[in-house]
Amino acid sequence: MLDFGLIQAHTLYLAQDATATAEASGGIDFYSFVNQLLNGIGIVGVLLLTGLGLAITFGVMRIINLAHGEFIMLGAYVTFLMQSAFQMDLLLTIPFAFLGTALVGAVTELTVIRRLYGRPLETLLATWGLSIVIQGVVKLIFSAQLKYVKSPPYISGNLLLMTRQDGTPLISISYYRLFIIAIALLMLGITLYLLYKTPLGRQVRAVAQNRDMAKCLGVNTSLIDLLTFAYGCGLAGIAGAVISSLKSVSPPMGQDYLVDAWMVVVTGGVDKLIGVLAGSFLIGESNAAIAYVLNDPVARVIVLAAVIVLIRYRPEGLFTVQKRA
């Protein structure tokens, strides 16, 4: 009953805002909604960062990697380890998080994934099992307690885009969220460059498109597979390191990001890397908007349902190049 009342109240505000736009007195809800859309950008940053690694391992390599969340978790733990052992700044731990998870990823590729290419069902089962194993091992080493990661003190506070007359913030976004977006875009840029502008990237794409032909042309496919998978895992590690100070660090933390990352990749489409950006933008913003009008759990259900409908009608995702069969 009460919930219903709240919904009505909000819809009413929105309806008002559409007509009476920037009235300083009655327009607080309008600003609040703008603020919320800006906040949505903050969600987009996290989604983009966590989805990027999966876009490599699934999008490029077609490996159904259910252990993706665990690689994010590993990145967060590398950051925790570096901080507690060497009092390192969070930014300095990012390369270590990348290398550490990439290493684990490489070992995984050599021991498990390599033996399962072309068999998605078994890969799915094996990576699912792997995710449980990684969680268990981390729990054995670090215990199940939540871990504390120190955020860099110089990235704190909010960027004020608009303030009220008395100086209180009206529209603002936190610097740390902006930092996450910046890192995410940077990593996307680097990945695009590597994939489309370097000889190595050309080989990666060649292997993805036609493994046998690439092999015939002298490409060392197994080395390319190893590097690509390790790179995808390393990206997940960076995501873990960067978000660790904004969220909670615990062994099951990866599960939360796994579903989101998959939604992003599936929505955006797997053929174009840029689809990840579109997918995370769509999901992040629609989540933010719906959550503002209704509430968080409902928004999650609606967005998830929308993604299911989308893949029913466009199984290739939104951004796909038409290929000849």
Partner 1 sequence: MVESRSPRIHFGSIGRRKFIKYGSLAIGAGVISACTRGGDTTTSAVTGSSGSAASGDAVKVGVMYSTTGTIAIVEKSLQDATFLAVEQINQGTGPWQGKQGVAGKQIEMVVVNPDSNWDLYNQMAKRLINEDQVSCVLGCYTSASRKSVLPVFEENDAILYYPVYYEGNECSSNVFYTGAAPNQQITDSIPYCYENFGPKGFFIGSDYIYPKESNRIAKAELEAQGGQVVGDEYAALGTTEFITIINKIKQAQPDFVLSNLVGDSIPAFYRQFKDAGITPDQIPIMAYPTTEEEIQAMGPEYAEGHYSSFNYFQTVDTPENKAFVEQFKAKFGDNRVTNGVMEAAYLQTFFMAQAMEQILEAGEEITTSTLREATRGQEFNAPQGKVKVDPDNYHTYLYSRIGRWQADGQAEIVFATPSAVKPIPWSQALYKGRLCVHPTPDDRSDPTQETGNELPVEYLES
Based on the shown chain and the rule CB under 8 A, indicate whether residue 228 belongs to the binding site for partner 1: no
Q: Which of 17, 42, 94, 234 binds partner 1 (CB under 8 A)?
A: 42
Determine what percent of the chain falls in helix, strand and coil, rounding each to the nearest 5: 75, 5, 25
Of 120, 60, 110, which Cα lies nearest the Cα of 269? Answer: 60
Based on the shown chain and the rule CB under 8 A, indicate whether residue 121 belongs to the binding site for partner 1: yes
Based on the shown chain and the rule CB under 8 A, indicate whether residue 147 belongs to the binding site for partner 1: yes
Ramachandran quadrant class, 178 (left: phi over 0; alpha: psi -120 to 50; beta: rest) = alpha
Q: Which of 14, 16, 27, 28 binds partner 1 (CB under 8 A)?
A: 28
Based on the shown chain and the rule CB under 8 A, indicate whether residue 163 belongs to the binding site for partner 1: no
Q: How far is 287 from 292, CA to CA, in rounded Å?
A: 8
Based on the shown chain and the rule CB under 8 A, indicate whether residue 216 belongs to the binding site for partner 1: no
Based on the shown chain and the rule CB under 8 A, indicate whether residue 291 belongs to the binding site for partner 1: yes
245-274 residues in contact with partner 1 (CB under 8 A) are 245-253, 255-256
* DSSP-derived secondary structure for 11-61: HHHHHHHHHS-S-TTTTHHHHHHHHHHHHHHHHHHHHHHHHHHHIIIIIIT
Residue 172 is encoded by which pair of tokens?
């603002």
Q: Is the CB of 190 or the CB of 311 nearer to partner 1? A: 311
Per the listing, tokens 């590993």 go with 74
Q: Which of 89, 91, 99, 151 binds partner 1 (CB under 8 A)?
A: 151
Based on the shown chain and the rule CB under 8 A, indicate whether residue 281 belongs to the binding site for partner 1: no
Q: Segment contacting partner 1 (CB under 8 A): 86-94, 125-133, 183-191, 304-312?
A: 125-133
Q: How far is 323 from 299, CA to CA, in rounded Å?
A: 35
Q: Is the CB of 16 or the CB of 32 nearer to partner 1? A: 32
Q: CA distances (Å), 9 to each of 29, 32, 38, 157, 270, in order?
A: 11, 14, 22, 31, 40
Binding-site ranges for partner 1 (CB under 8 A): 2, 6, 28-29, 32, 35-36, 39-40, 42-43, 46, 62, 115-116, 118-123, 125-126, 128-130, 132-133, 136, 139, 143-151, 156-158, 169, 172, 174, 176-177, 245-253, 255-256, 288, 291-292, 295-297, 299-300, 315, 323, 325
